[in-house]
Chains A and B, each alone.
Chain A
């Protein structure tokens, strides 16, 4: 997939206390082909505190409206500046980047468990949509600290069953994703996971014990995002691998995590 530097327009936004949904539109040309799990490098404003671009996952692509959705959690200067962009802001992005999630064969009708924690739910929406389109059965297991973290649920709902949990019990079952009863039921054919590292390690451990195929999406800090600087490496069974180019999606068998 050819990488492009594009100027998009912020067509619409929606805010929650800690998160913002940005709908970016391409006015002049169709969006390039991209797959679930890939990401963008977003140029913020080049103030001293946001010198480098910020990597953000594809939350959703609406090809007909030429829209690319980002779900961004406000954690620092860059993401806060993005949340403050007024509608119509021109947003410069490099896109699409990284290796996407591996999709099952389209004829196999697989049951796929998509596990997301916190802002790690972002890439799972587009993944769920593509899986559903290809005839598979996505089940979303989404976790957060409290109900506030569980957003875009009406969007997720369109593509699969929702299983929710929060640490404080304010929505769904109380506890961590790995405590959710859906994991006690019949094993899924595949697990796709994105979220904070301790959560991904716990999910990887579950998958390993049950012998379930599992891919996780890493969020190592990046400089270039295009495989040029080697700043983002993860230590894998094949040595240091670039998360931006050979990831961000890795099969758990490639990683050297203690699972």
Chain B
């Protein structure tokens, strides 16, 4: 899979792209990754689903989506017109669900890749159970690999002891690339009311506050695997993005920062170009892993 530039938008933070067309030209992006899509429709978790935290936020959306058949019938016709790569984030509760969903997406010509979400912390069986053990990830990735013949990106959970081991297990099971990080499991309490701020008590932390953790994990994973690494977690500027590239990422995703500045993704694209010019770098790919220690 080739991208115009190394900037994608992260699943669950960019809707289906259409939410942002008033602010940016989607064709300026390397790609967009649409919302988590499951085999069957899901209503998601109860409100409240969001709590702001210092320099970040917790969410407990819980994979609300209308299911893959709805995507194929009603959303694909629109997103397939975009002049950028469109990836589908595939989520599920059982191996069979992931496989069935991936097969349906495979039939769509204009979707060059799926991002397998084995790391959603917000539903009881949201895949995180798969994403936190080497056996778990190997079972889902292996099963999907058998039926899915295009680019298979696997999105890793940071809620693990050794993310490099998990990444290796995904690579061994047939992943073409890995993306990381999904949200960090967190919690927020309203002391006055003595109640949790989220209906689900715990939720996924994202935004600027997670960046140091994400950067460290990208660095560890990039050293361990031979497949491309896509870095994300708290990226809010071109400088943030370049740090991920230097740590070993081949591309980056922008998530929560889109909520604060809906035009930030294109600013990151331009900022990376400026950086390359200033540093006389011909191909942005030469930044990948160029960290000097």
Binding site for B on A (CB under 8 A): 2-5, 43, 46, 48-49, 51-53, 94, 220-235, 239-240
B64-A240 in contact (CB<8A) = yes
Stretch at the interface among B78-86, B134-142, B153-161, B255-263: B255-263
**A60 nearest CB across to chain B (Å):** 24
User: Closest A-chain residue to B17, C-beta based?
Assistant: A228
Contact A51 B55 (CB under 8 A): yes
What is the bound-complex CA distance between A233 and B48, given in angstroms?
A: 8
> Does B98 sit at the interface, judged by CB under 8 A?
no
CA distance A222 to B23 in the complex (A): 19
How many A-B residue pairs have C-beta atoms within 8 angstroms? Tell me.
Answer: 88
Interface centre among B22, B53, B56, B59 (most CB of A within 10 A): B22
B64:A229 contact, CB within 8 angstroms: no
CA distance A201 to B231 in the complex (A): 46
Flag B243-278 by CB within 8 Å of A: 1 or 0 each.
000000000000010111111000000000000000
Chain B min CB distance to A226 (Å): 5
26 A–B contacts from the bound complex (CB under 8 Å): A2-B22, A5-B23, A51-B53, A51-B57, A52-B260, A53-B259, A94-B262, A220-B48, A221-B51, A222-B50, A224-B13, A224-B258, A224-B259, A228-B13, A228-B14, A228-B19, A228-B259, A229-B13, A229-B15, A229-B59, A229-B259, A230-B49, A233-B49, A233-B64, A240-B43, A240-B44
Q: Which residues of A contact B47 (CB under 8 A)?
A: 220, 232-235
Q: Distance in Å from the Cβ of A169 to the closest Cβ of chain B?
A: 28
Measured between alpha carbons, how far is A223 from B262 in the docked complex, in Å?
A: 12
B contact residues around A225 at 8 Å (CB): 259
- Which residues on the B side are within 8 Å of A4 (C-beta)? 22
Interface size on B, residues (CB 8 A): 34
The residue in B19, B50, B208, B262 that gathers the most chain A C-beta atoms within 10 A of its C-beta is B50
- In B1-37, the 8 Å CB interface with A consists of 12-15, 19-20, 22-23
- Which residues from A are CB-within-8-Å of B43? 239-240
CB-nearest residue of chain A to B236: A46
Chain A nearest CB from B12 CB (Å) reads 7
Contact A231:B22 (CB < 8 A) given known A223-B50, A224-B259, A240-B44: no
Q: How far is the CA of A2 from the CA of B263 in the complex (A)?
A: 14
Q: Of the candidates A229, A232, A233, which one forms a contact with B12 in the assembled complex, judged by CB atoms under 8 Å apart?
A: A229
B50–A232 CB distance below 8 A: yes
A39 to B: closest C-beta gap in Å = 15
Partner of A221, one of B15, B50, B207: B50
Indicate if B54 sits at the interface (CB-CB under 8 A). Answer: yes
Please, which residues of chain B bring their CB within 8 A of the CB of A43? Answer: 260
Within 8 Å of chain A (Cβ to Cβ): is B61?
Answer: yes
B52 touches A230 (CB 8 A): no
Q: In the complex, what residues of B have CB within 8 A of residue A231's CB?
A: 49-50, 59, 61
Please name all residues of chain B whose beta carbon is closer than 8 Å to the beta carbon of A239 when the two chains form the complex. Answer: 43
Complex Cα gap A234–B48 (Å): 9
- Minimum distance in angstroms from A17 CB to a CB of chain B: 21
The answer to whether B258 and A228 have CB atoms under 8 Å apart is yes
Alpha-carbon distance between A227 and B17 when the two chains are bound, in angstroms = 11
- Contact assessment for B49 and A52 in the assembled complex, using a CB-CB cutoff below 8 Å: no
Starting from the known contacts A220-B48, A224-B19, 13 additional A-B residue pairs (CB-CB under 8 Å) come to A3-B22, A5-B261, A5-B263, A48-B54, A51-B260, A226-B19, A227-B19, A228-B20, A230-B12, A230-B49, A230-B61, A233-B49, A239-B43
Tell whether, in the assembled complex, residue A230 and residue B44 are in contact, meaning their CB atoms are under 8 Å apart: yes
